[in-house]
A = this chain, B = another copy of it.
Amino acid sequence: MQLSNDDRRFLDLAIEQARIGWDEGGIPIGAALVHRGEVLAVGRNQRVQMGSVIRHGETDCLENAGRLPASVYRESVLYTTLSPCYMCAGTATLYEIPRIVIGENRSFQESEAWLRSNGKELVIADDATCIALMDRMMTERPELWAEDIGVEASDLEHRA
């Protein structure tokens, strides 16, 4: 989908986070949280960097944003380079974030039907840079990717 100028700009912040993460030796997935046009926080997957099992791009971003009133989440947009896993989808549901702009969903797509059934607005950018970042990781570090989505590396073939 062709993004608006604002959506493009904020998704690019998430992509920048994904690139930083990859350069750090981590999983190249990034996110940004935006409230009425103001960037509240950015974040990136921290599995390698912090040894974290709960800091995906989206959750790291929310953690970096800190404690916020419910009313702020409800008027915010979450930008993420990759379609959310169930943990991140559940987090967006908990905080009632109404809109999620997704860089790409070719590499991974688990929660979108569920999110839509919860009333979320999802925008899929099908962004070539996001796809390329994931392709490179899946080729060079498949075991890391498998770990991040809770499967064994040997399971990846069955999911492809």
Q: Which residue of B70, B91, B95, B146 contacts A155 across the interface (Cβ within 8 Å)?
A: B70
Residues facing B in A47-85 (CB within 8 A) are 47, 51-55, 59, 62-63, 65-71, 73, 85
Instruction: State in angstroms the CA–CA spacing of A26 and B145 once bound together.
Output: 34
Tell whether, in the assembled complex, residue B47 and residue A54 are in contact, meaning their CB atoms are under 8 Å apart: no
**Chain A interfacial positions (CB closer than 8 Å to B):** 47, 51-55, 59, 62-63, 65-71, 73, 85-91, 93-96, 111, 146-147, 149-152, 155
Chain B residues contacting A71 (CB-CB under 8 Å) are 152
Chain B residues contacting A150 (CB-CB under 8 Å) are 70, 73, 94-96
Tell whether, in the assembled complex, residue A54 and residue B53 are in contact, meaning their CB atoms are under 8 Å apart: no
